[in-house]
Structure 1
Amino acid sequence: MTFSERELQCFIAVAITGSLGRAAAQVHLAQPSLSRLVQRMETQLGQPLFDRTTRGMVLTEVGQVLFRHARHLLADMDTLRDELSAFRGLRRGVVRVGAVAAVMRGLVVNAAARMLEHSPAVRIDAREDVNSVLLQALDQREIDLVVTAGEISDEAFHCIGCCEYSDSFAVFCAYDHPIASKPALEEIFARQWVMPGSAFSPRVRFEALARSLGHKVCVGMETNSVEAMATMCQASQLLSWLPVPLMMPRVEQGLVRRLDVPALELRRHFWVYRRSRSLLSDAAREFLRHLPIHSCPSNDDVNLF
């Protein structure tokens, strides 16, 4: 069984779009040609890759296995091309980094600026999102490195080190909010909050913290956009629990206030991870040289720095 890179690309397009028509447009093939390509792959395997339904093309169990490995193979081929191109002087490659908002807008951006100053031929693709989405992207080889808030106990991910950086969460309100600057917990939890969805780690942590203090959180608005949470806090009577570095510009502009609630202040640290079963590209190694981190004990990557 051998499949070409082109065949794998076409297969993945059908799997993602669920439609021969949409996939054909994406891979620049006529729909009948794409249909024949998929049929040839199925004949070669001796098993169907898709169930043809009224809802479109749905992966079979065999198709799901091929889809998972095909994405990894194509990502590895892209990395190989980048590294081989470096020998021909064509480019130094691309590093794809994911981080939560507070770290992306400070630590990662500063490291990227230092890297580009020393290695202008390297390109960085930066992705800002929440921890769970970033780890999924790392697992699916959509990014090379993740700077995550908290340690991960998953054999699929390998810890490179702990960042020489930390921040803290605190309570914020609109500048003209009637609440006292140093409110009692009873007053705090009598108010409504703007929060991320219930599956996201900041919400989980905050609700656990509230329960430990004997209170419940009344959520007035849910959004997974950090910018939307900060803006809603600024424009309404809703309270927010957000990273201090993200909110300080608004505090300095007189748009929001940081409330003095020590029981609800939480410091967090950040770790850098890569996939366990993959090698770092030269571009990723170059980025890590400019990221201030402490290497983990018994870390295979310790010699990178």
Structure 2
Amino acid sequence: MNIPIKSLHCFMVLAETGSFTRAAEKLYLTQPTLSKLIQRLEDHWQQQLIIRGPHGLALTQAGELMLLRAQEILGHWHLLDEDLSHLSGLQRGNLKLGVCPMMSSLVIDLLTGFRQSYPGVNLEMSEFGGFGCERALLANTLDIAFTALPATHEEELTAQPLTAYPLWACLPAGHALSAKDVLDWSDFGALPFIMYNEDFALAKLLHKRARAAGVELNIAYRSGQWDFIATMVEAKMGLAILPAPICDKLSDKALTFRPLLDGSSWQLALIWRSHMQLTPAADAFLRLSRAHLAATGDPAAE
């Protein structure tokens, strides 16, 4: 019996969601239909793939191996589909793009430009933190992704820098540190600090910079939403560090911003798997990004 690509896709979605209910909704299937598809896979290999427990689903050893191979097979199938569509001038196809939430408003011009240049290509966007984008790329569920450098899996990923923005300290209005023109890492000392979620590359960068200066940040709260971070700072729950373009959007809040002495910056980039050829749609998106950088005179285009 041949196993359809669709069945592997359904198994992968079930493994990712950990729930028959959520997977069926995402796949637009009924739960009994999805259960039958998984049962056929188990019957074919005579292996139990999932364990149904009171706290959700878990993969067996066979299920873990199935997930790994399904991701590889679907990744290559997607690449084949994109290669064939490229023969007709990229008039159709799919682009699976990862975007970090903080970057969404900064990359809208590229997304709009791609949609206008390739209207027949279906653009599938998923939001992840930087680490989440990396994991999705390595699992072959994304073609290319926006992230902040440095990447964690540098040996497995290729990066194309896009642009860099300075990082500014974010203080509540009237804070004692606002009397200084420039802040050093030592200024944060034991003061409560509001950090990004752990899967954000920016969190890794801030920890690295602070520790290089001999400072261990006192993490009081974490969030993946820059507007919520700013609101917490305004409420005097702690200090934070935000990229300059994000600070520019916060003119309605009672906040003060100061540059950092070491000139730390937020470097945005596109990343993709080094060991796999870019799909035609992803390659077109990368070329468009380089053209955009060249037109704006950003040195990252060089």
Of residues 273, 285, 288 in structure 2, which corresponds to 1:287? 285
Partner of 1:238: 238
Q: Structure 2 counterpart of 1:276, which letter?
A: S
> How many Å separate the matches in 1 of 2:41 and 2:248?
56
CA RMSD of aligned residues (A): 3.7
Of residues 133, 145, 167 in structure 1, which corresponds to 2:165? 167
Residues 189 and 216 of structure 1 are in contact (CA less than 8 Å); yes or no, is this contact kept in structure 2?
Answer: yes
Change (3 A) 1:92 1:239: same
Partner of 1:135: 134
Partner of 1:121: 120
Give the TM-score taking structure 2 as reference length. Answer: 0.76
Deviates more, 1:166-175 or 1:5-14: 5-14
Q: How far 1:218 sits from its partner (Å)?
A: 2.6
> How many Å separate the matches in 1 of 2:205 and 2:152?
17
Deviates more, 1:110-119 or 1:48-57: 48-57
Q: Structure 2 counterpart of 1:43, which letter?
A: D
> How many Å separate the matches in 2 of 1:63 and 1:257?
52
Q: Counterparts of 1:147-226 in structure 2 under 5 Å?
A: 147-152=146-151, 154=153, 157-159=156-158, 161-163=160-162, 165-182=163-180, 188-197=188-197, 200-226=200-226
Larger Rg: 1
Deviates more, 1:235-244 or 1:213-222: 213-222
SS in 2 for 1:231: helix
Residues 172 and 258 of structure 1 are in contact (CA less than 8 Å); yes or no, is this contact kept in structure 2?
Answer: yes
Q: How far 1:14 sits from its partner (Å)?
A: 4.3
> How many Å separate the matches in 1 of 2:86 and 2:194?
47
Q: Counterparts of 1:29-40 in structure 2 under 5 Å?
A: 29=30, 31=32, 34-40=34-40
Partner of 2:8: 8
Residues 18 and 58 of structure 1 are in contact (CA less than 8 Å); yes or no, is this contact kept in structure 2?
Answer: yes
SS in 2 for 1:124: strand
Q: Identify unmatched segments of 5+ residues in structure 1.
A: 295-304
Residues 173 and 237 of structure 1 are in contact (CA less than 8 Å); yes or no, is this contact kept in structure 2?
Answer: no
Aligned residues with identical type, % of pairs: 24
Change (3 A) 1:255 1:71: same
Change (3 A) 1:53 1:198: closer
Change (3 A) 1:78 1:196: same
Q: Structure 1 counterpart of 2:29, which letter?
A: H
> How many Å separate the matches in 2 of 1:37 and 1:155?
37
Partner of 2:108: 109
Partner of 2:46: 46
Give the TM-score taking structure 1 as reference length. Answer: 0.75
Q: How far 1:287 sits from its partner (Å)?
A: 1.3
SS in 2 for 1:161: strand
1:68 and 2:32 correspond: no
Partner of 1:272: 270
Change (3 A) 1:158 1:12: closer
Q: Identify unmatched segments of 5+ residues in structure 2.
A: 293-301
Residues 162 and 293 of structure 1 are in contact (CA less than 8 Å); yes or no, is this contact kept in structure 2?
Answer: no
Q: How far 1:71 sits from its partner (Å)?
A: 3.0
Residues 147 and 272 of structure 1 are in contact (CA less than 8 Å); yes or no, is this contact kept in structure 2?
Answer: yes
> How many Å separate the matches in 2 of 1:119 and 1:45?
41
Q: Counterparts of 1:253-268 in structure 2 under 5 Å?
A: 255-263=254-262, 265-268=263-266
Partner of 1:250: 250
Residues 166 and 265 of structure 2 are in contact (CA less than 8 Å); yes or no, is this contact kept in structure 1?
Answer: yes
> How many Å separate the matches in 1 of 2:174 and 2:48?
63
